[in-house]
Amino acid sequence: MELIHFWCNFTPNYNDMARQSISLTEPNDEWLKNQVDKKEYSSKSELVNDLIRQARKQQVQVDWIRAKIEKAEANGFTEDSKEAILAQSKSLLNG
């Protein structure tokens, strides 16, 4: 497996950039090049920053869902019927 090295700026504000050297496999490097060639992004750095932002946003959503599941599991399970649960949900929605 051949690794490709390039410098990447990891902040959108070019005045406050942290420079990093990362290694990529050839298929990943080709994919990055194709995105830049298609004018989807102006540079590999911009694309990597966008991918990181997307991953961070997704992680926030995953953490929120995980917290909701943990809270629900900690509250225990109900003995109510599905009809009773539905009726209660409708009454909460309708005020």
- Three-state SS annotation for 32-81: HHHHHHCCCCCCHHHHHHHHHHHHHHHHHHHHHHHHHHHHHHHCCCCCCC
In the numeric block, the tokens 């700026």 are attached to: 9
Per-residue pLDDT of the chain (95 residues; tens, 9 = 90+): 556 665 565 555 556 778 888 999 999 999 999 999 999 999 999 999 999 999 999 999 999 999 999 999 998 888 999 999 999 999 999 97
- Computed from CA positions of residues 67, 70, 75, 80, in that sequence, does the dihedral angle turn out positive or negative? positive
Structural domain boundaries, residue 86: 3-94
Domain count, the chain: 1
Q: What is the pLDDT of residue 76?
A: 85
Angle, CA of 38, 42 and 44, to the nearest 5°: 90
- For residue 81, give Cα distances in angstroms to 2, 15, 29, 71: 59, 60, 55, 21
Q: Can you give the pTM of this predicted structure?
A: 0.61
